[in-house]
Amino acid sequence: MDPFHLAVGLNRCPCCGQGALFKGWLSLHETCEVCGARYFRDPGNWTAPTAFGYGIGAASAVAAMVVMWFVNGLAAGSEVVVIAVAVLMTLATMRHVKAWWVAVLTRMGHVYPDPVVPPSAEPTEDPLEPASNEPESSAVNVEVN
């Protein structure tokens, strides 16, 4: 099955389709446990799921208001039902909205594993400091006859 659909439907990593996206009810892992893909690289990546969550809440509130209008003519207390429906619909869909957005980011090329730096390529010393095996003094002993 396509990892995109696994991400949205089963909350799996959209890169490998195996790792779990969530470590809690709404909190995502930073990276995939299986393939190491980093899900969010920019703080701005959260704008779209927030906007979609707001849109789902607003659309649910409007739908609940229309239903309540037909049921009881928006009698007193209807606002409690409308607010409850909006909050519950937002919370009920938030996991799938986040998973869908991570899958979209993956399709756009923004979700991938961090590059692996081999141990031999890692600098062992501060490049701004002089190497420790060089002589400390620059003085040269010159014998004059």
Q: Which stretch binds Zn ion (CB under 5 A): 19-27, 98-106, 116-124, 128-136?
A: 19-27
Provide the mask over 69-108, with x wherever binding to Zn ion is found by CB under 5 A and - wherever it is not.
----------------------------------------
Could you say whether residue 14 binds Zn ion (CB under 5 A)?
A: no
Of 7, 13, 56, 61, which lies in the binding site for Zn ion, with binding defined by CB under 5 A?
13
Could you say whether residue 15 binds Zn ion (CB under 5 A)?
A: yes
Could you say whether residue 6 binds Zn ion (CB under 5 A)?
A: no
Whichever of 33 and 79 has its CB closer to Zn ion, that residue is: 33
**CA 65 to CA 81: how far, in whole Å?**
9
* The length of the chain, given as a count of residues: 145
Write down the residue that tokens 């996206």 correspond to. 21
Closest alpha carbon to 14 in 55, 93, 44, 22: 22
Residue 115, C-beta contacts closer than 8 angstroms, at least 6 positions apart: none
- The four Cα atoms 72, 74, 80, 85 give a dihedral, to 10 degrees, of 80
Q: Which stretch binds Zn ion (CB under 5 A): 11-19, 81-89, 101-109, 127-135?
A: 11-19
Could you say whether residue 32 binds Zn ion (CB under 5 A)?
A: yes
